[in-house]
Structure 1
């Protein structure tokens, strides 16, 4: 992936001595390469084992179990004007959220099309659910006026199910309320809604510009 203005700006945010977390996706992989060529004295980590392995390959000192992170970079599927995120499609949001909570600064890299005043209703609120409780969680989501689709594959090492909950209305007006109710249901490990975590969004425009949110 070519060096874009967005990646260049993100790379310049990394300073010597920092601990830095990288998420997944093409943009973040390109950012890893951009930071690596600067030869900074930093330590890095990632919620993804494959990304940690790649960071080792390009010469970074890697932390496998971080306690605190100065700066985190990640992508998203949707973001609104209040920095609420949906990170649903990759299905690894439980691990991503755990790392995000450790970050002093959590910066999102995203194309302009994913930024809207309210969260995009084509992107589901996704739940990771213990398999034995999946049927009960599906019913709980339906009771909250959500359409539910169970993904046919299990989630990673934990072997849990992923439930995609779609909004029936024109906008996600009740997503915080629905998310709060569903994450209290027994068997729900976590959700793809990120609130009060992102500190900045670097938005890539079609003309290779960048605007910040």
Structure 2
């Protein structure tokens, strides 16, 4: 069974008419676009952090608005590499996490969507933490990361971001405490954002062999 598709179609149920929606990137989000196309609602105002999602939406006849024109969303949906029991997530693959975090921060609800393989009790180091860095800070940022986390390994990606910045993959044998990791990376001058989505998501919709689950952040009430 296609559990990402099942989760995506379930996530659509959170969307009501006349709402401002943000969509991220990944397979689950592409299934959400297909579901939106089947049940087309022209009252939605749509934004996306992803060029590929934008193309899917426009090909389906939706209008995609410029992010710079908005300051608040009703809901933002996104996939991830993995998320933990507290809904902290890693989104390391596409390198668009700065824009994804911008939309997630604007949203009244930030909902993760995917299959059950994305869920772990604690984030695992099979994926790097990625930081977006302005070009002039590329050496400085690496030196600062190494000072704080001397046992990590780093690799600068060849690709650039939509803002013409650089990406550094940071690999750990074991993650430090997530609050420490999150604040340490954010406080390095020249670093825009990291791919660690710490304390941001409100819900997760996941599907698997044991059925469909909606996980809510502890203490969150929609």
Q: Same fold (TM over 0.5)?
A: yes
The structure richer in helix per residue is: 2
Which deviations, in whole Å up to 9, do the C-alpha atoms of 1:32-65 show, x marking residues without a partner? 1101221222121101234223312212232213
- What runs of 5+ residues in structure 2 fail to find an aligned partner? 216-222
Match of 1:111 in 2: 115
Q: Distance in 1 between matches of 2:44 and 2:29?
A: 17
Which deviations, in whole Å up to 9, do the C-alpha atoms of 1:123-174 show, x marking residues without a partner? 12211111222222112222223423223313223222211112233xx242
1:101 match: secondary structure:
helix
TM-score (norm 2): 0.86
Q: Kindly report which structure 2 residues correspond to 1:1-213, keeping only aligned pairs within 5 A, or say none.
A: 4-40=5-41, 41-65=43-67, 66-145=70-149, 146-169=151-174, 172-206=175-209, 209-213=211-215
Q: Distance in 2 between matches of 1:138 and 1:94?
A: 18
Q: Distance in 2 between matches of 1:179 and 1:105?
A: 21
Q: Distance in 2 between matches of 1:125 and 1:54?
A: 28
Cα pair 1:43 1:60 within 8 Å, conserved: no
Q: Distance in 2 between matches of 1:114 and 1:144?
A: 28
Q: Distance in 2 between matches of 1:112 and 1:118?
A: 14
Q: Distance in 2 between matches of 1:166 and 1:135?
A: 17
107-116 or 137-146: bigger deviation: 137-146
Aligned residues: 210
1:61 match: secondary structure:
coil
Match of 2:218 in 1: none
Q: CA RMSD in A?
A: 2.0
Cα pair 2:131 2:192 within 8 Å, conserved: yes
Q: Which runs of 4+ in 1 moved over 4 A?
A: none
TM-score (norm 1): 0.89
